[in-house]
Amino acid sequence: MTLQELVHQAASIYSDKIAVCFDECNNQPPVYYTYKTVVNAASELSNFLLLHCDFQEIQEVGLYCHPGINLPSWILGILQVPAAYAPIDPDSPPALSTHFMKKCNLSYILVEKQQINGTYL
């Protein structure tokens, strides 16, 4: 059974239970997502990818983001395509990230919005 199948199975039983908790350690309360929220967000992402990307020969999608509450949904959405996800660390030196992207021969990279706007604190 794949990871995405396991999550969907859990979501069918525990849809309103907490699936993900993320604490940014910034004196704010942690954020929680239910299984229903995680699965819905993952499905939206996989539908977007299938609509806008050509997966005939593509097997990997890069994911350029910091850890956060949405990370499990993003990973699940990529796996549902189906594709493998290649994590790209925004804190890595640009030359290392570029080398990794070339080695993986990535055609598509999902970039966290905060990384584009430069607003990540």
CATH number at residue 23: 3.40.50.980
Alpha-carbon distance of 96 to 81, in angstroms, equals 27
- Is residue 33 within 8 Å of 20, Cβ to Cβ? yes
Q: Return the pLDDT at 118.
A: 54
Cα separation, 70 vs 32, whole angstroms: 10
- Which pLDDT belongs to residue 34? 98
- Tally of structural domains, the chain: 1
**pLDDT of 84:** 93
DSSP label of 6: H
**Residue 115's pLDDT is what?**
76
The list of the chain residues with pLDDT below 50 reads 119-121
pLDDT recorded at residue 57: 78
Segments forming the whole domain that contains residue 85: 3-117
> Which letter, b or e, does each residue of 80-111 get, where b requires 16 or more Cβ atoms within 10 Å of its Cβ?
bbebebbebeeeeeeeebeebbeebebebebe
Q: Would you state the pLDDT for residue 93?
A: 93
For residue 91, what are the CA distances in angstroms to 38, 39, 95?
25, 28, 11
Whole-number pLDDT of residue 58:
74
